[in-house]
Amino acid sequence: MGTKSPDRNSNVDRLPAMFILSHPRTFAGKAAVSWSSRASWGRRPAFGVTILPRALPGLPGQSLKRTTSAMPSTARENLAKQAANPMEDVSTQPDSLPSTVRDKPFAWLLLITGVVGWLASGALVLEKLEVLKDPNHVTVCDVNPFISCGEVMQTPQSSVFGFPNMFIGIVAFAVIITTAMGILAGAKYSRGYWLGLQTGVTLGFAFVVWLWSQALYVIHVLCPFCMVVWAAMIPLFVWVTIRNITSGVIKSPPALVKLLSGSGWIIVALLYVAVITTIFFSFMHLFVPSTA
């Protein structure tokens, strides 16, 4: 005659292993009796959890060893997905971002470009008000017929939307300054905010490029304060774009992210060179005396 196996709670044996492991204090007592009895008969639990002498969490001095080879397929698939998909992309970590687009340096870049652009726009507003009061007013940047804010203000291009363009700069650069101050104060903006800022900066940059082309190839007159705004918009557009791409706000291929991460100031310098070159060739007669 065989020896009768010790009594055990069969209900505990039928419960899924992962459910028992997630409620250790509830099933600790019953599971200990059941698994220790089964271990004494030299058998393993059907659901693939090997219980050692120190085996259950929640009991003093005990630990749990789980064998994943016998886990249910769903649990194994979930673990594989978690291993393959980390919680956060490395490219969004602060240490992996270019130094210029990290919070404090980027905030100072926004603040400097915003203040420069706002002051230039403010000066243009004051001069425009004087011109509206007196069409014969000579502005502070009227140097000659080819370098004159007053001449540009008299053209239709200076009021594209029915009001002076410089009022747009007053509002837009104030938003940039406010954003910079918020970052310096520790504010964290949502992805939607950065997308909105990117849209505004991109439209502003496109508008500046159009004004630049009009000044060089249609009006043939340069506005010094306008050129200050151009100079502020170039690094502002480049670095806001790079910041949003490298931080994941704008989804981009890894190769593009890597390329832009180390090329920001090179792009800014190339754009400055392009602007200076076009100005030089458009107004060459001012820089190179004619021999005729």
- Residue 160, both tokens: 């594209």
Q: Give the separation between CA 142 and CA 148, rounded to whole angstroms.
A: 4
Burial status of residue 135 (CB atoms within 10 A of its CB: 0-12, 13-18, 19 or more): exposed
Same domain? For 135 and 187 the reply is yes
Using the 8-state DSSP alphabet, how is residue 142 labeled?
-
Q: How many domains does the chain have?
A: 2
Q: Give the separation between CA 200 and CA 112, rounded to whole angstroms.
A: 18
Is 184 part of any domain?
Answer: yes
Q: What pLDDT shows up at residue 231?
A: 95
Backbone angles phi, psi at 105, to 5 degrees: -60, -40
From first to last of its 292 residues, the chain has per-residue pLDDT tens of: 555 555 555 554 555 555 555 555 555 555 444 444 444 444 444 444 444 444 444 444 444 444 444 555 565 565 565 555 444 333 445 556 778 888 899 999 999 999 999 999 999 999 999 988 888 889 998 988 899 998 999 899 999 999 999 999 999 999 999 999 999 999 999 999 999 999 999 999 999 999 999 999 999 999 999 999 999 999 999 999 999 999 999 999 999 998 888 889 999 999 999 999 999 999 888 777 665 5
Is 84 part of any domain?
Answer: no
Same domain? For 107 and 227 the reply is yes
Same domain? For 263 and 166 the reply is yes
Same domain? For 46 and 147 the reply is no
Out of 74, 108, 129, a domain closes at 74
C-alpha triplet 182, 184, 187: angle, nearest 5°:
45
Q: Give the separation between CA 19 and CA 132, rounded to whole angstroms.
A: 79
Same domain? For 114 and 214 the reply is yes
Is 253 part of any domain?
Answer: yes
Is 5 part of any domain?
Answer: no
Same domain? For 35 and 126 the reply is no
Q: Range of 106's domain?
A: 96-287
Report CA-CA distances (Å) from 206 to 54, 155, 196, 234, 247.
Answer: 69, 19, 15, 10, 23
CATH number for the domain including 120? 1.20.1440.130
Cβ proximity of 184 and 110 under 8 Å:
no
Cβ proximity of 97 and 247 under 8 Å:
yes
Is 80 part of any domain?
Answer: no
Is 234 part of any domain?
Answer: yes
Same domain? For 55 and 115 the reply is no
Is 43 part of any domain?
Answer: yes
pTM of the model: 0.66
Could you tell me which of 270, 201, 273 has the C-alpha nearest to residue 240?
Answer: 201
- Residue 38, both tokens: 């089964």
Burial status of residue 263 (CB atoms within 10 A of its CB: 0-12, 13-18, 19 or more): middle
Same domain? For 188 and 273 the reply is yes
Query: Which amino acid is located at 291 in the chain?
Result: T
Same domain? For 108 and 252 the reply is yes
Q: What pLDDT shows up at residue 22?
A: 57
Q: Give the separation between CA 40 and CA 47, rounded to whole angstroms.
A: 17
Alpha helices in the chain (DSSP H): 10-14, 17-22, 24-40, 73-84, 103-133, 149-153, 166-184, 191-214, 224-246, 254-261, 264-282, 284-287
Out of 74, 104, 129, a domain closes at 74
Out of 43, 74, 105, a domain closes at 74
Q: Give the separation between CA 133 and CA 130, rounded to whole angstroms.
A: 5
